[in-house]
Structure 1
């Protein structure tokens, strides 16, 4: 739900998206694609995002460990989980121009390094310190993407029952919720079987769990 779950279509669109990416990088991002600004500068806590305009293959979630730890503390969720989700969502290039090129081809695509859809971002930002920010800013502000991810995980956690019968940990269920939505998360908690894509997402989370822990120093 939060991320773009069209992994099977990635092979068929990557050539087209790369072509658009090259054109946009060569000509400059069109004015209409420029994210709206809410002030003269971003909040001091965000700081410069490393490799924000690097080549598509250069993104490493571990570069954002400082932001992950800060946003995890702010929202009361596991920093290791926030980082593990970023690793799960790093399956596609996260260059701003590339994301916008892909979004032109797939209007329902997600934005930002946490792969968040517009509807999810608009719901999560309500009442938060980034309520005035726009979903279109996510590709350019990676700390904003991490903050929105952490708050979404926080909101999912608030919906979990006190106990559940399924053999999943709290972090497993939150990751499944991030991938498939709150309703499916609750269904899994009560014994529903995840589909192949959700199962693959959970397997990937487990595979990268230790790496995520090392990245945030746990």
Structure 2
């Protein structure tokens, strides 16, 4: 799997903390995942996953308000709802927390965007370990990981074998592909010129990254 290693201009990216992460806006339509590009770069490097994939997931998960107050109201209306700018459900978070020794709580995802981005990156890392090296050619490895983030590990492995995704997973994949250039531009703004993610702005996504089959 090809990874983007991205450093901020002038040196390696520094750890991004809670104070560096802006609170998502209360105003509808004012949220832009690109505002979290430095966090995405750092968390992706730390977890060993693609920054472009992680940013794509944030764009795909931007369909609902992420201000902490609005997420509290959303959770009151829909108790099984997910938390944080990466929309992580409690069961998934608990798996990540136990696997990586995280000290934060699921509820902290709602109030701490940096923690939410880090948890999402670690979850993608776990999915990558569980995805077979060989998979059908119609999806890149990162696309399968994004589908796993959305539909779960079991479905991800089925898609990798060639089982057709359902309507919701197909919609998720279409949005991921549609957001690719936007995600790449946001990362290029903090990565500087002539980096893998900068070149991704004008490069089509690979369709057979370590793939096999139809």
Bin the TM-score by the shorter chain.
0.7 to 0.9
Tell which deviates more after alignment, 50-59 or 158-167: 50-59
Report the aligned-residue RMSD: 1.6
User: Does the 8 A contact of 1:176 with 1:185 survive in 2?
Assistant: yes
Tell which deviates more after alignment, 140-149 or 43-52: 43-52
Matched, 1:161 2:132: yes
SS in 2 for 1:139: helix
- Could you tell me which runs of 5 or more consecutive residues in structure 1 were left unpaired when the two chains were aligned: 1-42
Query: Which structure features the higher share of helix residues?
Result: 1
Partner of 1:93: 65
User: Does the 8 A contact of 2:61 with 2:85 survive in 1?
Assistant: yes
Q: Report the Cα distance in structure 2 between the residues aligned to 1:197 and 1:59, rounded to whole angstroms.
A: 23
TM-score, normalized by length of structure 1? Answer: 0.76
Deviation per CA, 1:24-58, whole angstroms, max 9, x where unpaired? xxxxxxxxxxxxxxxxxxx9733332134543432
- Could you tell me which runs of 5 or more consecutive residues in structure 2 were left unpaired when the two chains were aligned: 1-14, 189-196, 198-214
Q: By how many angstroms is 1:59 displaced?
A: 1.4
SS in 1 for 2:110: coil
Partner of 2:85: 113
- Of residues 63, 71, 76 in structure 1, which corresponds to 2:48? 76
- Of residues 159, 171, 188 in structure 2, which corresponds to 1:200? 171
| Matched pairs, number | 175
User: How has the CA–CA distance of structure 1 residues 94 and 80 changed in structure 2, closer, same or farther, with 3 Å as cutoff?
Assistant: same
TM-score, normalized by length of structure 2? Answer: 0.78
Q: By how many angstroms is 1:200 displaced?
A: 0.3
Q: By how many angstroms is 1:160 displaced?
A: 1.0
Q: By how many angstroms is 1:166 displaced?
A: 4.8
